[in-house]
Amino acid sequence: MRKLMMITASTAALFAAACTPADETVETDETSAMTEAAMTETNETEAAEVASFDNPLLAEWTGPYGGTPDFDNASLDDLRDALREGMALNLAEIDAIVANPEPANFENTILELERAGAPLGRVFSYWGIWSSNMSSPEFRDIQREMSSELSAFSSQITQNEALFARVRAVHDGAEMQTLTPEQQRVVVLTYDGFARNGATLEGEAAERYAAINARLAELHTDFANNVLNDEGDYVTYLTADQLSGLPADFVAASAAAAATRGREGEYAITNTRSSMDPFLTFSDERDLREQVWTNYYSRGDNGGEFDNNAIITEILQLRDERVGLLGYDNYASWRLENRMAGTPERAMELMEGVWTAAVARIEEEVADMQALADANGDDITIQPWDYRYYAEQVRSARYDLDSEEVKQYLQLDNLREGMFYVAGELFGFAFRELPEGEVSVWHPSVRVWEVTNRDTGANVGLWYLDPFARQGKRSGAWANSFRSHTTIDGQTNVLATNNSNFVEGAPGEPVLVSFDDATTFFHEFGHALHYLSSNVDYPTLNGGVRDYTEFQSQLLERWVLTDPVVNNYLTHVETGEPMPQALIERIRAAANFNQGFSTGEYLASALMDMVYHTTDPAEMSDPDTFERETLARLGMPDEIVMRHRSPHFGHIFSGEGYSAGYYGYMWADVLTADAAEAFQEAPGGFYDPEVSARLVEYLFAPRNSMDPAEAYRLFRGRDADVSALMRDRGFPVTE
């Protein structure tokens, strides 16, 4: 189990890995190379003296598959005590490392840190489920109460001078030259985890650093919970005469959602992307579209006790002060120092180049939609709540492509089997669903598969799938792991999870999803494959660099429309016939349709994130005003909004995993577009055995055991070509 002491600059990042609300993809294992293990990874071969506990949340996992979490006996009543006992045990392990009379070396310092913290790591596996998948007011009370204690615990370790001295002795010592490259990387990541997070500070500066972390932990938690409250409180209920334009399966799911809320006979449009997006796309009721749009984009911005604006201001002030103690000009400079982009300027350069093309495309899209509305005699001017609705009509007219027609071929269960096929062909994995009850799960709708090596039959791990939206589950889609691959005390198998918010249909009815949701499903599975394919020896190396780790999952989206998946898994819900080639060609022809909208709404958030973290907080107005002024300066079109407006931008304000790092999706997209061209150029296309082997060997299995840029060069033979991104999105390529 990786050490809890390596939690990032604030223990709030520990919460971010388990709690961050998301409207698309948030992966908890890449919050940092340190947080992932602290949150989700357990080494079951830990020291015998801590092998059993009275508290079930601390107890070593038992049963088949190397042991699995016991959700059946997990109770919130045990959480506070489990956290406190787990922290005490971890601190005792740290004390033992420090007290070792032998000179510091890799074996007695770095490796012991790699082993430390297993019991507390197990507690946080349950914590992650309670915060993300099964949230409740009772849990949020505990979360809020424990945030300061967890922050203090983190600071006790990151500011342990004697411990840092031992780590530094290994980092600076002659032994480093004798270590393997993988061991050297563990040492460097461990040292940086201390040095970049306050270990070099002394006296009042160290005390202030710890105090800032404690307050940030509270603020990040409050931010996330405020968004959850607004997602639960703002539900739009429809009557039967307000359903015009809505697909039948969406109507049925909305009726079920209303029934679970005690509103039989009505239809609930919940305040999550999975409900909002299809409603805005298909509803003919413009006033209701505006209401649903307003509810969604006002999360955290409604005044009262759940408003996040004051929290944003304080978070930015504290982050700026904290990195100032370390000698950095701004938060973004600190954050990007060890990422692929390197500097905020490089990240901004990439984003601004694409932004110009995206804005130009948005203007074209709006003109097309306005022309259609005028031709229909609708007597409107396109507003943000109209964009999806009229875009769908333009898509249908231009490409003869009806989203509802496409959905008939996108059954959730078939998509899952298609993902398994791809994993078998590229990674050599086989999947077998476990009988109900063989391992414990946190909700009846969660299903579990054993993952084995297709050639040898050896167990690789388990894959948990939690597919459906429900009250208390955060919106969006994400991946996580309860345990990652290590070999330091015997090889461990992987426990990976994928979590989605598909709208569950009526009992016995197949669940049909949009094409965007299908690609997101493959995306998140890419993160699970990243966990499952790991061959690293040391827990720390299961982390990753934020602007690189989205690349692997984004790349897997490209297999959705490959011929084997189409012919065998994209079959019509009624006839069972494969998706016809003519429809596939229409989908491909429309691939870059609405690219201005999708790129623009994302980039507006990414640019805003970087501006927030490169601007002196003393020079900022309140967040609402600053957001409007900044977007106006950037030339934000009136017809779209940020994908995540500031008051609900959980990626950057409910933790620090994506803060000053939301640009990373686009940085990874450059790699994705370039790597996709490698497959397109290969004789075997997306199933070419040689390119696939390099994909696994260099881009998936090594995790963070080598520099990402070098790993990509080993795969591609060169650095990624930025122009591949522009070609991929259908934007002009400038030389």
Q: Active-site residue numbers?
A: 524
Strands 25-27 and 267-269: unpaired
Whether residue 402 contacts residue 396, with contact meaning beta carbons closer than 8 Å, is answered with: yes
Q: Hunting for tokens 């022309």 — which residue is that?
A: 371
The three-state DSSP-derived secondary structure of 82-102 is HHHHHHHHHHHHHHHHHHCCC
Q: Which residues of 476-500 are buried (b: 16+ CB within 10 A; e: fewer)?
A: bbbbbbbbbbbeeeeebbbbbbbbb
Amino acid at 521: F
Q: If DSSP codes are grouped into helix, strand and coil, which group holds residue 614?
A: coil
For residues 574 and 649, give the distance between their C-alpha atoms in angstroms, rounded to a whole number.
40
Nearest Cα to Cα of residue 306 among 199, 227, 215, 206: 227
For residues 185 and 374, give the distance between their C-alpha atoms in angstroms, rounded to a whole number.
61
For residues 530 and 525, give the distance between their C-alpha atoms in angstroms, rounded to a whole number.
9
Nearest Cα to Cα of residue 227 among 476, 30, 468: 476
Burial of 635 (0-12, 13-18, 19+ CB in 10 A): exposed
Amino acid at 673: A
Give Cα 682 to chain centroid, integer Å.
Answer: 31
DSSP label at residue 342:
-
Whether residue 599 contacts residue 354, with contact meaning beta carbons closer than 8 Å, is answered with: yes
Which runs of consecutive H residues, i.e. helices, occur in 507-655?
Answer: 515-532, 546-556, 563-569, 581-589, 595-612, 623-634, 650-653
- What is the chain's length? 735
Nearest Cα to Cα of residue 195 among 208, 181, 183, 209: 209
Q: What stretch of H or E contains 26?
A: strand 25-27
Whether residue 606 contacts residue 663, with contact meaning beta carbons closer than 8 Å, is answered with: yes
φ, ψ for residue 466 (rounded to 5)? Answer: -115, 90
For residues 542 and 6, give the distance between their C-alpha atoms in angstroms, rounded to a whole number.
13
Q: Greatest CA separation found in the chain? A: 84
Neighbours of 248 (CB within 10 A): 10
578 DSSP β-pair partners: 571
Whether residue 478 contacts residue 25, with contact meaning beta carbons closer than 8 Å, is answered with: yes
In angstroms, the first-to-last Cα distance of the chain is 48
Nearest Cα to Cα of residue 171 among 189, 154, 155: 189
Burial of 303 (0-12, 13-18, 19+ CB in 10 A): exposed
Instruction: Output Rg (C-alpha) for the chain, integer angstroms.
Output: 25
For residues 187 and 667, give the distance between their C-alpha atoms in angstroms, rounded to a whole number.
27
Cα–Cα distances (Å) from 234 to 298, 378, 483, 658, in that order, read 10, 29, 36, 26
Neighbours of 458 (CB within 10 A): 10
The strands making up 429-433's β-sheet, listed across from edge to edge, are 25-27, 477-483, 494-502, 459-468, 447-453, 429-433
Amino acid at 604: A
Whether residue 538 contacts residue 179, with contact meaning beta carbons closer than 8 Å, is answered with: no
Amino acid at 333: S
Amino acid at 437: G
How many distinct helices (H) and strands (E) make up the chain? 29, 8
